[in-house]
Structures are given as C-alpha cells and as structure tokens.
Chain A
Amino acid sequence: MAGAQTNQRFKVLKSAEPTGTVIVMSFEDGREARYLQRRSQMRWSAMQMDLTETLCVSSQAAARCELTLPLVVADGLFIWTKHPEASRLGQEVMYLPGGGQPKQHLVEQQGVHFVSIEEQQRLGSRTLAGLKGRLSCDKFEWLTNVPNVPGRVLPTALSVASWSGETNTSTLETNVAENQAVNGGFDVQLSILNGNTYQIDNATYYTAFAGSPALVSQGPATLVTHDKQGELCQTTFNMSLGKTTQIINELREEIKNVTPVQGPFPIDILTRIEFSMKGIATNAESATFAGAFE
C-alpha cells in the first residue's frame, strides 16, 4: 500500500480532550494518523521600532522604541498510530503527490508564535499567563503628549485605539501585491512598568495575518492614539525584525530535536493554515487526495 500512487480517501476526526483537540486522519483502509505538535523553548525577542512620522505632536518627535515579545516556534505533524507496517508506527506521515514529484511533509510550515496577549486570547492563559509584551521608548511624547524633559511623569495607563501592521501582499480582489495594513489590535491597553517602558496588558480585539502575531509586522506599524486635544492621531514606525529572525531560525533548528506531543497548544489558526496548505480543512468531514500517504 505504501507508496501507491492512488487516491486515498480519509476522514478527519476531531475530539475534545483535556490536553486539547485531537485530530485524527482515519483512512478507509484502516490506517490512522494523529496530529501532534512540537514546540520550542520560549525566548524573548526585541524588535526595533523607529518613529518615521507622527501627527500627534506638532514637532517631529523622533523616537526609538523597542517592542519586546516572548516567542516560541511550533510545528505540527501527523504520526502513524495505526499502520499495517509496524516500522511505520510513530513515524511521520509523508505525502506522495505522484507524477514523479518527491514525497513531502504533510504539514510543511513551521509556525512562529509570539506569545503575547493575542496568543493568550486565542489560546487561553493556561500555559502563557504572565508573559506580557513590553513597549519601551527613549521618548514617549508621541504617545503620552508629555514632553521629554527631566522629571516627566508619564500616565500610568494608556490605550492605543488601533495598532496596525503592514505587509506587502496581494488581495483576492486585485491579485496585485501592495503594502497594506493586515493585522493588529484595537484598544490595546498599556500600563507603565518603569520610566521608559509600558507593559502590553490587553486588547479588546486582535486579528492576525496568516498566523503571524497581531502586533508584529514586516512593514511599518501605525498606532492611532489621542493627541493633547483628545483627538485621534497616528504615529508610524518602521519595524526591524533582524534580531528576531535570527532567534526564530535558531528555534526552528531546535524543534527538530523535540519529541512531538499532544498539545500543549490547542489546535489554533496556524494548524488550520498548515492543514489548508494541503487542502485539508480541519472541519472537513472527509477528503480524497490525488496521491498517497506513507
């Protein structure tokens, strides 16, 4: 059976268990595979944010900020739990598309999780409690309307009406790639930690681009806040992810040696992207692939 270039039909079965949702691919021929995850250690990552334009204060208050978020790298894979060949049990399910194409990992993409409030909102705070992101700046006039003078007293709590990040991508309407705001949060609440650092406490709403974190973007980030008159205004930053990319690459290598387990992440948005890349939706009742699994 293994390696046969035939269409193999299977069902996707889901069940809720204390460790999270269990996903099983159940093949017509009796084979079964279970979805497991690998997860790296958590690392803190600081992303540089340089203010490029603010309409919140009259003077162009140049500021250099740092957004610090904890992150982990995770990926998912299907492991054979029922297979006529005993040697395949516990091994990763590989996909053979046929047509002379090489076999592939069923789940190809590794996901980068910035463990922050959006993660906690998505995944629950069970495993992530207490890990809050931080925003540090050398000058905070753009956010607080408090001039950068010795002895300044910054507000203890603030809210960012909208925090959006840009990515260069196309939409289904135009199929033309362009910079656009695609992810971010509304009503992002900050509380002061010390003289130049705010902690990111919460937000009433987040959305993320393709499983990426809500507050991190490859392109500029724009924050809508209030000016001295209480009117909405915007400040834009260039983001630099250089150091973060390095950390992510290190963690990607790290998880290759991690034993896959059920959870601790529940099935999340990333998982569905991974499934979908191969045309399997987690809510699909069944699927047929032009190819085979071994």
Chain B
Amino acid sequence: MKIIIIGNGMVGYKFCEKLIAKNPQGVELIVFGEEIRPAYDRVHLSEFFSGKTAKDLEMAPASWYEEHGIKLYMGDPIMHLDCQNKSVKSHAGIIETYDYLVFATGSSAFVPPIPGVEKDGVFIYRTIEDLEMMRDWAPKAKKGAVIGGGLLGLEAAKAMIDLGVSDTHVIEFAPRLMPRQIDEAGSKILQAKLESIGLHILTSTNTLEITGTDKIEGMRFQNDELLEVDMLVISAGIKPRDELAKSAGLAVGPRGGILVDSQMITSDPHILAIGECALYEGMIYGLVAPGYEMAEVAIATLLGSDKQFTGFDMSTKLKLIGIDVASFGNPFSTDEDVRSIVLEDRNKGIYKRVNISADGKMLLGGILIGDAEQYNMLLQTCKNQVVLPPNPEDIMLGSRGGESEGGAGVLSLPDEAMICSCEAVSKGDICSHVINGAENVEAIKKCTKAGTGCGGCVPMVKDIVNHTLKSQGIYVRNVICEHFDYSRQELLDLVHLHNLRSYDEVLSAHGHGDGCEVCKPLVASLIASLWNEMILDKGNDTAQDSNDRFLANIQKGGTYSVVPRIPGGEITPDKLIVIGEVAKEYHLYTKITGGQRIDLFGAHLTDLPAIWEKLIAAGFESGHAYGKALRTVKSCVGSTWCRFGLHDSVSFAIQIEERYRGIRAPHKIKGGVSGCIRECAEAQSKDFGIIATEKGWNLHVCGNGGSKPQHALLLASDIDSETCIRYIDRFLMFYIKTADPLTRTATWLNKLDGGIDYLRNVVVNDSLGLAEELESEMQKLVDNYVCEWKAAVENPEFRKRFSHFVNAPEEKDPTVNFEVLRDQKKAKAWN
C-alpha cells in the first residue's frame, strides 16, 4: 500500500510516527511538505524568540524519515491532484501515484481584508519564516500592534515583547480577550494582568485601514482614531488549507475545511484528511491534541481496524506571558440548572469559575486564570463525571494551609480517565505499566509517551505512579540510587557515625556496585558538609561532578568559567584592574553576574591553575560558583553612603559571606543584606535575607528565585548581628543535615511538616535542643575553611590533573572554537 501525505506539520509528522510504530507490512510512505524544513513544534513557536532555535523546535530530523524508509520532499508543495488516476504532481514536477492520500495541510493565518495589509512591517504569525522576518524587522520598530486578542494573538504579543518592542497594543474586535475560551469577568482579570506588564489592550475595536506609503505608519479604527505603529502582526484566526482539495473536486465546507466523516475519509474514498484542514461535523479543530487523535483514527481506517473520531474536548491550559489561563468542559454555561461558583481575587489577579450541575454532583466546566494548578484534576473530574465532594468549591480552591491532600484526587478517577491527552494515555494504561515494572515517571514516559507532549500531565502521572506503587504494597522511599539503599539523611548519619572520609570508603561500607553519577556527587557533598576537607583529596576528585572536580564551571565547548569571590560585591579599583588584566591575558569573555561579581568565561582547562595563581596573588580566592555551596551574599550600599541606610549592610554582608564560604550543602545557597526596608539587595529572594530595621535586623529564610520564585519568610525580627549569625548557623546546619539531595531551602521548607512555624521553633526556640550542637558543627566547618584554588595550585598531585591531554600536558584542546560577539568571544553554538 502506497500512502502519500500532503503536509509535514505536527499532525502530518505524528501520522508518520504513529504509523511506523505499528510496524505495518508493505506500506510505502511519501511525504510532501511545503516548508523547507522537517516538521517542527508550532505550539511552542514563541520560544523561538526566547532563545530556542529552529533545531530545538524540530519534531524529528530529516534523518529520522530516512531511517524509517519514508520518502520526504521538503519545500515542494503539491500543485495538482488527479483523483481519477490517483496521482499527484508537485511544484518541482515530481509525479507520484498513491493507493491512499492523506491531507494534513493544516491551516494558514486568516488575514482580514483591511486596506493596506500588504505594506512593509505587517506580518502574520505562523511559520519559522514569519518569525525570522519579524526578528529582522523588530530592531527598527518602536511601537507595535497585534490584531487579534485570542490565544495566538496574545502569543504574538509575547513575541513582540521578547523582540524588544515593549510598547505594544493588542487590538481585538470582540468586546473581550480570548472570547472563545473565557468569560467576561475572567477576561477583565486577564486584561488587567497583561496591562500591568505593559501591554495596551483595545477591545471592541475594528481596524479600517493600515496607513503609510510603502511601510506601515499607523492604523485607523472605526471611531476614526489613529494609532501610530511601525510594526503589526495579524493573528486574527486560522483558515484551513483546502485549496488543493477544492480544485480537485473534493467536498469542502462553506467556510472552508475538507469534509470528513468519523473515519477521516473525505468525499473520495481513497483520500483522508486530518488536523486543521479537516472539517468534522461543521467544526475545525484548531488544537494539536485532536489533530493527533485524527491521525490515530486515520491510521486505524487505513489498516482496516475500527476507530471513530467523535469530536474532541477543546479544554486547554496554557501560560500566556507567564499567566496561567485554562478553560475546560463547558466554560460558559448559563442554563438554569447550572450553578456557577466564582472566585475572584483582583489583587492577585486570580479568577476561577466552576460550573456544576444543580444537584451539586457533577462538574460541567470552568475557567481558571492566574492559577491553574487544579486544571488537570478538574478536567478529569469533569470528563469522567466523578461525583463531587459535599463542598464543591473545595475542588477549585485546592488544598488549604499546611494540610495537603497529597494528590489523593487521582485515586477517584476511573481507569478510562485520559491523563495525557496529547498522546492519548489513560490512567489504566499508566497503572498497568507501573504494575509491570515501570516504577517511575521517566519509565512511564518511555513506554507510554505520556507527558512527552505539552508536559502538563506530568504531576498527575507522578501521583498515579506513587499511588499505584503504594497500592501494590511497595513502600515509596526516597532512596539515592541503585547503589545506596538509603535516603540522603540516613546516609549522612551513617557517614558521620562511622567517620568516613572518602567516597570509596562509603561505597564499600554502605553501598553496593560501583557507584554512578547520582550517588558520587551526593556522597562527596555529604563528606564535604561533615568534615569540610579539601574536596579533591582522598581520591574524592573522581567522585565530584565535573564542576567541583575542576573547581570551575564547564561551559559549552568544554572550556571553563572562573568566578573569584567578591564578598558583598565590594571591590577595589586595583582588584578590578587585575581581573581585567587576567581576562585580557587569557582571552576571557567577561560578564557581571547576578550575584554582584564577575565571571570570566572561555578558560582552557590547562590555563586554570595559572589564572588562579594570578588572582590569588592579587588577594582573590575561589567564589565556589561551581559548587553546591554558598554563592554570594548580595548587599545594597548601606548606611556608609546611602541617605536612607540604617545599618552598614555591606560590612555585614562581607562578614557573613566570609563566614559561610566554601561550605557544601544539598544545593547552592544565596544570601542578601539590605540596609533598609527599601530592600535594594532583594534579600527576600534569597535562601537567607537580612533587612535592617531601626532596632537591628530582620532575618528572612527560604526564599528562592529560579524557575519557581518564592519569597523568604520572616524567621526573627529586630535581632542584633550576633544573634542573627547564630540563627543562620542553626538554620543552615539544620538544612544541610535534613534536606533531600538537590533541594533548595524553599522546596525543603515547603516539604517540612509544620512549615516556617516548626522551623522557627527549632532555630529560635530550640525546641529540639539542637541549637548548641548545630552551632558548634557550623563553627567547625568555618574553622576548617581553606581556599580550594590555592590548595589545588600548591599541590603538584592536584595540579597535574588540570591538563587536557595526559600525554601532551602543555597542549590545549584543539577542537575548542570561539565566535566573535560584541568585541568579545562566545562559545561556538552546538547543534
């Protein structure tokens, strides 16, 4: 059987992938794609502007098609279809015949007939080429606009912001944003949030004309108002690509779309259509999940098995410019027998609405804006008609306070519940794979593909895995890896008790096998946290992760970056000059880091000892930027210069940074000291943050920037410097002794039973009677500090490891290449 697929978008690719997975015999596949590259992930297109490359977005490389015997024509659209003779002819003149033809031509952007749309500076938002053109134009643009306040329009607005066109208007014809997904009240909240980050929103606005001579200069609206813009993106909806089908005589809908039945067959029995070009019961499905489902149905039809497409739930959850927006089931229902419960928090920008049946038993649909954490659970409750608890609002509010339900919700779902809608994996599928030995999320991803699409279901998959294991009588314990049957805390106690000092001793005494990349750095860190001996000593160097092993951060291309400690961010002109001289001598790229110090990039392994020697001679030491250790204590300028400053924040920051430098912990630690309530050091985003008050210092702990920012919580107020240090001693030592591996203080606190109140009891009120012990353990670590760079350059045994070639120590890695960027160098991009 010879199958031709027209269109190589996400759905066309998925069709090939799913068909190949079925390993059908005697099937020949030919794909014609109009675009010049293999299929790519259009859902995450806007990430192209936040650093992803076309390659990152690729679904599979061209070689994938080759490996599976699929003939792929790229950049060659089909121009002619002859249904009678079952043949197609491409733009390049290639003629192929088929037994079956599959349309997966997708859609194009719908461009409303506004006079002037042809002007330069007007773009659509659909393909990587569109994005490249936008990227080239954007540097010239100051004021931008997007026509369309729907899902794609807001994505395009985000793209404009990413491109640096910060003064951007969103123009929507309807009276509210995202009219198809969310209601008016929700729209208002969303609009307020978008406006707060600088977007201008105009609703109920109709564009009459795009002005300018050759190039766009402005837009005229129905009220005759003019808006000056020099860049416009149109994202006002999609139009199915049905022109080829139409010209070949296939039946299409009055407003476009190739008519298909529930088996995806068009009006010609040898031709199928799937994805956004297909019209099923009067509807175009403009999301990727139903497109994948159509691909699945089409394959069943071609292979002679029975599967029907019966419509698809259009529930969706996405992050728009950092704001969660989700709608599911019937979000709008206003019927009399429907009760809606609404929660609106304008302050926080949160809007939640659930629609439930009059008897309060069934969830019918809803909308979540600003916080969509409960989306998966609500969606499954709705789809599977799970009976609601007596207070239905509980499902919308989620867990409250310290009491967590621990994901008990997944238990109530039936086996048919669709957990991953991208890959159509049900709860039952996941459970049976767990029982058959796939005992973690990674294994489930591998054997079911669940969670590999949008990734939104991963937390649920994890809950299901854990619950299934528990129900099988398997005790879920956080053991380190196959070599150590202990949790981090258990192993720390053992290492302490038995006074073990090297990885090999620990493995021989308490582990089995030969170790791995998980337990080696973990045990090495435990040993360092307990004894604070030089981390490369006693054969521990080969147990350290690469950064710790070479006391520098490995970067793209295999060179390293060097960060000397600059405590509190204070540095003399002489020291600055030395950094400059070293950077010049070794051709290093220099950048100021987020922690008020200077990073020197692009150092060859061989050069590291010499670079350190020069820095040490000028009074620098290691900044431990490579370690799970204290990084920096950031400070504002404080009372020595600042007219608002209450205390000398810089001196205190230096004192604290020098106290905790080099101490290894489960994860990196950052601190901050602000000289007054204005908080210029951003101390509340640090693991420990100190803020001056009239009477002393306020100490905040367990803050975090990173992917999930969290403010630090107040641990103690109006304390003097000495007490502050004692509390930090206790706090850090308690964290080091009890946290799971690679857990920041914020996550540690979130998991700690009793939360900040418990922590305060331990640290401030000494409820466990541990205070003295914690303080003395910390003092031992502080007393044991030596600069690792100094130790490494002075010891010939350590020093000789810093060469690339063992048999040519003076030679550098010849494969290292740099490119020029803004008068400095950068690492060569990898593929």
Specify whether A and B are partners.
Answer: no
On B, residues with C-beta under 8 Å from A are: none
